[in-house]
Structure 1
Amino acid sequence: MTLTAGCGAPQPEVVGSAQVSIQASTGGTAQVTYDFGDTAYAPPGLNGKRTELKAAVTYPRDLAGGEHPLVMMLHGWGDTCAAGDKPVRNQGWPCAKGAKPVDNYLGHSYLAESLAEKGYIVVSVSANGIQAQEKDQGQKARAALLDKHLEMWEQLSNGQGPLRELKQFTGHVDLDRVGTFGHSRGGGGVLAQALDSHKRVPGVNIRATMAFAPAMNGINAGKERISRVALSVVAGTCDAMWEDSEVPVAMAAGNPNVEHHDVPGGNHNFFNTVWTPGTGPAFATDDVAVEKRNLPGGRCESTNGTGSPQQLKPAEQRETAIRYATAFFDKYLK
């Protein structure tokens, strides 16, 4: 199936048409991927450089019974391109001949499926082109990329726009109940979108933002505030990014709907299956080991001053992510 930018509201940044692939349904959920190509959009913050407009949508197979809340997901910074089992680095975007994009945006599929089973429509956005080309304004570009996808979903809710042939969603998406989830620099991206100073997409109400181990690159935490949305920040205690996870909580001072959760023994990479050994490519790493902070007996040195907890196994860390995310979004979007 091909979707075109076509008629309706002008979409000058979107180039060409989208290829749509439909994955086999598993249980009560289904998935469709739309892809406008590697150079479909030029977000602010990239100095005119272009990035992809691509996302995997995980949703309840039965969409009957009214409108469903929408959750947007954004992955973090990892290897962008690979040739076989080896990453191809420092080559820009799109990937060079012989290399393919790393599917970083599929690393939170376990979480998307869990949310879809509870009635959410989840859109996991690919941002490889940003991470391959960003300088100091990467979070501005990530926020704009999320906004562009939300613009297309707002148009789709009325049966219009570049995604209009995805008719199964028209009339079944509640854009007054939108949540965002991001990990690492993706966490910084959803925080940049949640800032009081950020202009919101017309017709879209983001009620809740969740950041896992957010990287704050390009955000002026001393001047910016987060008071319009409920906020949840989660970080592993064996993650070098743990200290940064306290920053957005301070930015939300006075906001009554703020949570901060430590994950004892959690690292950075295991929240994303593409970055995790055993589920990701050959170059996926346990970043506790990379940081040389692992101790005998499977313990790790805590970065929040709580000693040396037992390091979580990947499946345990994913279960923790599911528990926190479902509880948070259920509280503010259901």
Structure 2
Amino acid sequence: MRTTRTTSRPLRRSFLLATTAAVITLGTACSTSQPDTTGSAKISAQAGTDRAAQVTYDLGDTAYAPPGLDGQRTELKAAVTYPRQLDTGEHPLVMMLHGWADICAKGNEPARPSAWPCGKGAKPVDNYLGYSYLADALADQGYIVVSVSANGIQAQEHDRGNVARAALLDKHLQIWKELAAGKGPLKDLKQLRGHVDLDRVGTFGHSRGGGGVLTQALDSHEHLPGVNIRGTLAFAPAMNGIDAKKESISRTPVSVVAGTCDAMWDDSKVPLAMATKNPHAEHHAVAGANHNYFNTVWTPGTGPRFATDDVAVDHRNLPGGHCKSTNGTGNPQRLKPAEQRETAIRYATDFFDRYLQ
């Protein structure tokens, strides 16, 4: 295992445009067997960039009942970012999963208490679009990236939300398997058929999304047949629901990244205790990084009006742009949002290039 630190440089930012569409589909069972999903997804093209094309797919707000939610249902919705110039070969696939945040909003205010689907007059917060900058950067390097929405889990989870998140990722991977065979709800994404390599899959999760991808990487988790997850990257993972004393991660390379200005610092060290028999496990400290700036939707200035600087909320701000460090190494200079996102790009591209290319 190794611990490294990093500095940052400015970042070019790009954003996905959000769309909200719904298609009602037949339900799926609470099982790890991942039965076929019926119906077709609503496919919506987004603006993209010069080099990366972007679409969203949506099967509706109540399309799936994952294990861990006691029969409650959640959405099957994701943003797909991929190279505009697809060669004749297959590209590695990266699945992304966001964490816990406000899930519905009425205008500029969050709708609380949380309910799913969103109540009258409220619309979903696009938490899953907060890593568009990272998806663009990975697509520039030849990856196909799927950022999954998990608002319904956030609204309804109890002690097994991590199980529901892992199952949600497996469900999305299942429908990508179906696309490879020219069927299933994504069959209209014909431009991607034959270009996705399910033998080279990586996962990325942030906050409780980090806990979800780590749950999917557990030795005890039943892996989806026909899909090879070669690496799991977790940013500031929240370990809710994972019993680190009973679980282990020995089969999948795992990397954990956390900021020294992030209150989740202690949780970020837990996966290392679960990966003592894993020769490909590492932890990286990012001096001056907080929790929320990794997601543009959670960041003031790029997110909705209720987006927060979590260092300020937790009263760890110090004069001169410093924060009270959570890892006991002093009072680091805080990273600006663009600097923190550039750091995320470097860690993600380095990790996935090592294990997926």
TM-score range, shorter chain: over 0.9
Aligned position for 1:331: 354
Structure 1 portions without partners, runs of 5+ = none
Question: What's the counterpart of residue 216 of structure 1?
Answer: 239
Q: Quick one: which of 154, 163, 181 aligns to 2:186?
A: 163
2:314 corresponding residue in structure 1: 291
What CA distance in whole angstroms lies between the structure 1 residues aligned with 2:323 and 2:114?
A: 34
**How far has the Cα of 1:170 moved from its partner?**
1.0
How far the C-alpha of 1:15 sits from its partner, in A, is 6.4
Matches within 5 A, 1:242-253: 242-253=265-276
Which residue number corresponds to residue 251 of structure 2?
A: 228
Residue 5 of structure 1 and its aligned partner are, at CA, apart by 6.8
| TM-score, length-scaled by structure 2 | 0.90
Identity in percent: 74
Structure 2: segments with no counterpart, 5+ residues: 1-20, 27-32
The reply on whether 1:66 has 2:69 as its aligned counterpart is no
Kept in 2, the 8 Å contact 1:43–1:141? The answer is yes
Which residue among 126, 143, 150 is the counterpart of 2:173?
150
Judge conservation of contact 2:260–2:326 (CA < 8 Å) in 1: yes
TM-aligned CA deviation for residue 26 of structure 1: 1.4
**TM-superposed deviation, 1:132:** 0.4
Aligned-pair distance for 1:67?
0.3
Aligned position for 1:113: 136
Tell me, yes or no, if structure 1 residue 135 matches structure 2 residue 153: no
- 1:76 matched to 2:105: no
The CA deviation at 1:3 is 8.4
Residues 1:318 and 2:352 aligned together: no
Q: Provide the rounded CA distance (Å) in 1 between the counterparts of 2:178 and 2:88.
A: 21
Answer yes or no: is the 8 Å Cα contact 1:300–1:311 preserved in 2. Answer: yes
Q: Which residue of 1 aligns with 2:55?
A: 32
> Would the aligned equivalents of 1:4 and 1:162 in 2 still touch at CA under 8 Å?
no
- After TM superposition, the runs of 4+ consecutive aligned structure 1 residues lying more than 4 A away are 1-6, 10-16
The number of residue pairs the alignment matches comes to: 331
Aligned-pair CA distance for 1:17: 3.6
2:46 maps to 1:23: yes
Contact 1:80 1:89 (C-alpha < 8 Å) held by counterparts:
no
Aligned mates of 1:47, 1:14 — CA distance in 2: 20
Change (3 A) 1:282 1:2: closer
8 Å CA contact retained: 2:93, 2:143:
yes
Matches within 5 A, 1:80-119: 80-119=103-142
Cα distance between partner residues in 1 of 2:70 and 2:24: 26
SS in 1 for 2:41: strand
Aligned counterpart, 1:280: 303
Q: SS of the residue aligned with 1:297?
A: coil
* d(CA) in 2 for partners of 1:260, 1:332: 16
1:2-55 deviation digits (Å, cap 9, x = unpaired): 98979xxx9868465421101134111100100001000000000000000000
Query: How far apart are 1:91 and its partner, in Å?
Result: 3.5
Q: Which has the higher strand share?
A: 1
SS in structure 2 at match of 1:24: coil
Q: Deviations over 1:88-119 (max 9, x none)?
A: 11141000010000000000000000000000
Q: 1:266 is matched with which residue? A: 289
Answer whether contact 1:294 1:300 (CA < 8 A) is retained.
yes
Inter-partner Cα distance in structure 2 for 1:167 and 1:13: 19
| 1:165-189 Cα distance to aligned partner (Å, 9 max, x none) | 1111111110000000000000000
Contact 1:3 1:165 (8 Å CA) reproduced: no
Q: 1:15 to 1:93 in 2, by over 3 A?
A: farther
Q: Which residue type is aligned with residue 324 of structure 2?
A: E
Q: Who is 1:254 aligned against?
A: 277
Q: Map Cα deviations across residues 49-94 of structure 1 (whole Å, 9 max, x no partner).
A: 0000000000001112300000000001000000010001114100
* Residues 270-308 of structure 1: per-residue CA shift (max 9 Å, x gap): 000000000000000110000000000010000001110
Question: Residue 186 of structure 1: which of 203, 206, 209 is its match?
Answer: 209
Using a 3 Å threshold, how does the CA distance of structure 1 residues 309 and 65 change in structure 2: closer, same or farther? same
Question: Which whole-Å CA distance do the structure 1 matches of 2:279 and 2:233 have between them?
Answer: 15
Per the normalisation by structure 1, the TM-score is: 0.96
